[in-house]
Amino acid sequence: MRRRTVLAAGGASLLAAPALSSRARAQAFPSRPLKMVVPYPPGGGTDGLGRITAERLSEKLGQPIVVQNIGGASSTVGSETVRRSDPDGYTLLFNASLFVLGKTVVPTCPYDPQTDFRAIAQAGEAPLVLLVNNNVPGTDYASTMAAIAKEPKKYFFALSSGGSAGHIATLAFLKRTGLPLDTILYKGTAPANADLVAGNVQLFMDPWTALLPLATSGRARGLFVTSKERTSLAPSIPTSDEVGLKGFNISSWYGVWAPKDTPDPVVNRLAAAMAEVSKDPAFIAKTTSLGIVPTARGPKEFAAFIKTEVETNTALLVESGFKPE
């Protein structure tokens, strides 16, 4: 009986060894360079913030982070690459808020953003600005809206892309104000900006990182920003609260994800490092200069925030009759 007991105990130790080894590896994380996938081509807003985040996160973790751009199919190609990677924390995804809507905006999306990934941290957010063409009557938000309400069929709202933060904000704005304005969907911010300035569309709401230059240069008129405070980048534009749209604080936002089976100790280590990044003076200075507001939502808070975003935004898209292409 004693011999059997010893053998059984020895067998249990052997079975437990791999689990202990895995735990030890997680606790030693990271012990080698990491990769951060940005699922868009180089040079865009998501890529820019992703690189700034990777640079500072690398310093906090003590390991190099290589940024890899894998664009295509509305970010699904790069995101799917991360989903299929080893869940060891060494391959991360840096993406924008559009990502979490999945099949709602990209019918061929091969994953569920909420169940196939682990939310690590929100990195920052870019508030929006509502611009109007200079030929639209009015001198401020109230007088401009009054003019538009008199002849709503004369005015069109531009949308940079289906399911984007600007699209969601536009739907929420039209619902809240009751204005029966038609929308025109573009393939990106640049062509929408061009048509706004030319007067082919009269209103456009999108992240201020891309639109504020139009307002500050006088090529369009800014009616409000969706931040809680005015921005130093365009201090003359009032906030949504100031014009009477209380709580209308929709933003485009960005975050870091890992494959779904990434161990808790690794997730916690990454989240703790991201919390340090959000307070880093150099990170704050760089992001602020780009119009990005640093945020510090960790795994649980970020996941809960995503759940609410998906529910609210999906309902708005369905109610509007949006059909993804």
Peptide bond into 137 cis (omega under 30): no
Same domain, 166 and 302: no
Backbone angles phi, psi at 304, to 5 degrees: -65, -40
Same domain, 121 and 256: yes
Output b/e per residue, 96-108; b: 16+ Cβ within 10 A: bbbbbbbebbbee
CA 220 to chain centre: 25
Distance in Å from the first CA to the final CA of the chain: 69
Reference 298, options 316, 276, 282; nearest CA is: 276
233, 227 contact by CB (below 8 A): no
Residue 132, domain CATH: 3.40.190.10
Same domain, 99 and 162: no
Q: How many CA atoms lie within 13 A of 136 on its CB side?
A: 35
Q: Is residue 232 part of a domain?
A: no
Reference 229, options 139, 127, 125, 122; nearest CA is: 127
pLDDT tens for each residue of the chain, 325 residues long: 444 433 344 444 445 545 545 566 667 899 999 999 999 999 888 999 999 999 999 999 999 999 999 999 889 999 999 999 999 999 999 999 999 999 999 999 999 999 999 999 999 999 999 999 999 999 999 999 999 999 999 999 999 999 999 999 999 999 999 999 999 999 899 999 999 999 999 999 999 999 999 999 999 999 999 999 999 999 999 999 999 999 999 999 999 999 999 999 999 999 999 999 999 999 999 999 989 999 989 999 999 999 999 999 999 999 999 988 7
**DSSP 3-state of 74:** coil
Cα–Cα distance measured from residue 168 to residue 298, given in angstroms and rounded to the nearest whole number:
24
Reference 54, options 94, 12, 20, 5; nearest CA is: 94
Residue 73, domain CATH: 3.40.190.150
Q: Is residue 12 part of a domain?
A: no
Same domain, 139 and 162: yes
Task: Return the pLDDT at 24.
Answer: 65
Same domain, 210 and 69: no
Same domain, 135 and 82: no
Please state whether beta strands 156-159 and 251-259 pair in parallel, antiparallel, or not at all (unpaired).
Answer: unpaired
Dig out the tokens for 175 from the structure: 């619902």
Task: Return the pLDDT at 324.
Answer: 86
Same domain, 220 and 131: yes
Same domain, 117 and 264: yes
Same domain, 118 and 150: no
Task: Return the pLDDT at 244.
Answer: 98
Q: Is residue 245 part of a domain?
A: no
Range of the domain at 118: 33-125+252-320
Which helix (H) or strand (E) is 23 found in, with range? Answer: helix 2-27
Q: Is residue 196 part of a domain?
A: yes
Task: Return the pLDDT at 200.
Answer: 98
pTM: 0.88
Q: Is 66 left (phi over 0), alpha (psi -120 to 50) or beta?
A: beta
Same domain, 215 and 137: yes
Task: Return the pLDDT at 192.
Answer: 96
Work out how many domains the chain is built from and give that number: 2
Task: Return the pLDDT at 25.
Answer: 62
Sign (positive/negative) of CA torsion 49, 252, 290, 278? negative
Same domain, 119 and 257: yes
Q: Dump strand ranges (E) for 70-178.
A: 91-96, 117-132, 156-159
262, 89 contact by CB (below 8 A): yes
Cα–Cα distance measured from residue 6 to residue 301, given in angstroms and rounded to the nearest whole number:
47
Cα–Cα distance measured from residue 61 to residue 124, given in angstroms and rounded to the nearest whole number:
19
Q: Is residue 233 part of a domain?
A: no
Dig out the tokens for 148 from the structure: 């538009």
